[in-house]
Structure 1
Amino acid sequence: MIFGFGAAATALVGVHFGANAIERGHLAGWTAAIYSAVLCGFVGGAVALFPGLWANLFTQAETVREACRNYLQIVGPFYAFYGVSLCLYFASQGAGRVLWPVIASVLRVVVIVMGCIAAAREPGATAAQFFLVIAFAMAAQGLVTGAAIRLGAWRVGLAP
């Protein structure tokens, strides 16, 4: 889903930046990101509300189904953030400015590693705590990517 919007955003942003139509390039990138957020948010919301639709497809083991349902209910609502970040990463390739989306991706990994280490050190840590770390990391990645681009990451090095 995101790859479809992202691939189109790469081309559209690249064409507009190449033609020095920077504002139109921004509009194309953000439009694709919004569609990605809506689509991923819808899917994430649907599996969060009805996790059994997905969890029951792959196993008969109730413990696995329960873990899957738990994950989807916690992390599913945050899929929209991941949709925004990945789509804007693709669009940033078209703009020739991927630094901030890459920083945001690294941040997501660091948050997951550090958060999971912290959770693992807690006596009685639950899977839900690890899933919350993943959800928070997705939100951080989406917010950092979006904020960086909104604040001018795609304008760096452009003539005024």
Structure 2
Amino acid sequence: MNIPPPATTVDGLIITTIEDRDIAEVIALWQRCGSTRPWNDPASDIALARKETNSTVLLGRNNGALVASVMVGHDGHRGWVYYVTVDPDRRYEGYGRVIMNAAEEWLRACGILKLQLMVRKDNAQVHAFYQSLGYYNQQTVTFAKWLDGREPTP
């Protein structure tokens, strides 16, 4: 189980780690943002992220309202982020940058110096967002295989 760091305030957001009482609200945010997929159970993803010390879910709240989140973890060598979300009604207020900075700081505190992420090829708006934060396209191809035998998913 993760030991949550103290809450920090950055550019109007209070950054904390997820707690049991936050799960339904976080899943609702992910769904509003279009970040969930039928083949991934968000509650199971959250439980897995909270199970060990190498991953967590960070939340950003403004005046008590959940406006941003990120699932962050590492394999001991590289960091990864998933479910990077900002409430659709609160986009373009800098919260995406703040929650990504929080993920980067969390990884640095774990001794991880490289962060990687996957973005769907056709999501040009999100590509531009990450490029504005200094991320670059590594020109790699990602291969996948379902180990339970199901058919490929996008």
What's the TM-score bracket when you normalise by the shorter of the two chains? under 0.3
Judging by fraction of residues, say which structure has more strand: 2
Tell me the TM-score normalized by structure 1: 0.26
Tell me the TM-score normalized by structure 2: 0.27
Of the two structures, which has the highest relative contact order with CA contacts closer than 8 Å and spacing of 6 or more?
Answer: 1
**Bigger-Rg structure (1/2):** 1
